[in-house]
A and B are shown apart, each in its own frame.
Chain A
Amino acid sequence: MSRVTVADAMPETCAVTTRGLSKRYDDEVALDAVDLQVPDGAVFVLLGANGAGKSTALKLLLNLERADSGVAEVFGLDTGRHGPQVRAQVGYVPERHDAGYPWMTCGRLLQHVAAYYPAWDHGYAEQLISALDVRRERRIGGLSKGDTRRLQLVLALAHRPPLLLLDEPTDGLDPIVRKRVLALLAEHLADSPTTVLITTHHIHEVESLADHVGVLRAGRLVAQMTRDALQRTVRRYRIELPDGWEPPRDLVVASPRAGRATREVQWTVVGEEREVTDRLTGSGARVREVTSLALEEAALALLPDDGAR
């Protein structure tokens, strides 16, 4: 699929900006010249199959990994030059389920991390601990995946960071806790001015929060746009095809639903509806129906069909 760009107005201020950001691990490309723009105050969902480079992108933003080339900035701070200052602005939930030191108790770890963030809100931390049912006396080494994730969420949110980097934040949580976490996140966003960059395989979970979407495929950022632009430009077309019909060149077909043998097909096509309809009609096809898609469906249309989601 070619790169999908939608001519929305450029955001005035970006919390996160990358330019030509590339990273390789030996022969494997993790990120390939990524130009990411996360507007200040946005909830930006970064989608991609496993290994598409989502976690690497977050690690580069925290200066935990070194980019091979390109620039990453968080609130205008070059992450390579101002790693500590950048990390002070960020609440990070890593993909891995380990939080701190196995020998420490949850309560001691919270106290430990609080010492590193002058903006730590003790009252809010207490609320989060209570809401997420984090038990202070438990040793971190003995926590389950879900328990660890809840602790990581408290650690990430309690200093009310201007930027949240959440890497699969609901992974390992049971449905009830997952719902509670999403509700907490919504409350947090309402109370604290925060930009969120979130990677997830479950876009429906964050559908109510997301306002921007980006798609990574094999390390390349193939799409980034507002939620409205995504839903406006990715639509399903029911098309009647004449015999011997050839599709117009450069038509970005995200997911054909039926083979060419049938006279009528349903295609998910990327592009402005009027333009797509005109091009299809001009090529001899008849557009029977155009339907808009839910956010998840529209976003998944931009992901590879064969990859895990």
Chain B
Amino acid sequence: MSYPALHQTPRLADVLREQVRAVALALRTPALVALAILLLGSALAIAEFVTGGGPVDFAPELSMVPAFVGLLFPIGVWKGERRFGTSFLWLLPVDRQRHALAKVTAGWICLMLAVLFFLVWIFVLALATGGNILGEHTVQLLPSAVIPEARTLDPAALRPIRYAPQPVFWLVPFTAATGTYLLASAVALGSRYPLRWIVGVPLGILLVSALGAAADIDWLRFLASRLLGAALEGRYGLDALFTARAESLKTAVVLSTGKTVSVWRGLPDVREWALATFLWFGAGLAALLAATARHREHRPPRRPRSP
């Protein structure tokens, strides 16, 4: 038997390039909205600076904006795409799982460009207002990581330290956005009804706590809050991913003099941040691969028996 000359499938590089173009186009409207918000925020910051307010400091590791953008980004990436059933994406001549990953990668490239743009913007704003572009400032360090009871801490026990984030922490916005983007993409691709998960998980946690309280079972009552605390502010929790723990290490204490001051329980640690990022990336990638496996090419069924 002879068949006609068969057509080639596209090269993966061409697919990725086209997906970047398509995703960028899909994100055009949200990008314009984000730009308008950024312009408004900048105008307010400049107005405050002109009227005697403080300058804008550049502290990339402290901004949670990229992490939240990463969380919402898949909505734009998968705009108008039915992920389940006979979707347009699956009609094209590319392995379905690879195609899904190519689209996620295209979204990630756009996300990184958006984060870079945001950081450059803030950097320029900091320069224009004479802000601190190295993020160097003095912090008051607690004598130990344990937060003392109110009105028990002697002000003399606080250690003032001149702290400047290491340059590697400038990567935090990029890694934070990547981590949340991977997890959100996994939910978007793996679940037919992602909203049910987004609403269902917090509701489930509330329900467990309420059940624990109603049944007067302490471990159940605090299980959810402890798990949530570990996931958010633990050593390798989300805050480690989002800000290298710059947020959760900072707290307010009431000194023995009655004065409330902002203090740090410790300083962000590169190794802890790197490990937390590695763990969240691993979890995100595993979830994403599991989610894309739901869209893999259908395996051939068993062959009929020969008559």
Q: Which residues of A contact B (CB under 8 A)?
A: 12-15, 19-20, 33, 40, 59, 62-71, 75-81, 83-85, 87-89, 92, 94, 96, 98-104, 108, 112-113, 115-119, 159, 161-162, 193
Contact = CB atoms under 8 A, between A and B. Distances in A.
Most buried by A among B1, B3, B18: B3
Contact of B4 (A68, A104, A162): A162
Interface string B1-29: 11111111110001101100110011000
B90 A117 contact: no
11 contacts: A15-B3, A19-B304, A64-B86, A66-B299, A68-B301, A75-B3, A80-B298, A88-B8, A89-B6, A96-B86, A116-B18
B302 A115 contact: no
A67 B301 contact: yes
A84 B301 contact: no
A65 B79 contact: no
A159 B8 CA distance: 11
Contacts of A104: 22, 25, 80
Interface stretch (B93-101, B126-134, B172-180, B228-236): B93-101
Contacts of A19: 303-304
Contacts of B93: 84-85, 87-88, 116-117
A143 to B, nearest CB: 14
B92 interface: yes
Contacts of B96: 83
A125 B302 CA distance: 40
Most buried by B among A12, A64, A96, A159: A64
Nearest to B302: A69
B1 A116 contact: no
B79 A87 contact: no
Given A63-B298, A80-B301, A101-B81, A118 B10 contact: yes
Given A40-B4, A64-B90, A75-B4, A115 B300 contact: no
Nearest to B296: A83
B2 A94 contact: no
Contact of A84 (B2, B79, B94): B94
Most buried by A among B15, B86, B96: B86
A81 B297 CA distance: 8
Contact of B300 (A64, A81, A113): A81
Interface in B64-123: 79-81, 86, 88, 90-96
Contacts of B15: 115-116
Contacts of B88: 98-101
A292 to B, nearest CB: 34
A96 B87 CA distance: 11
Given A84-B93, A103-B79, A118 B7 contact: yes
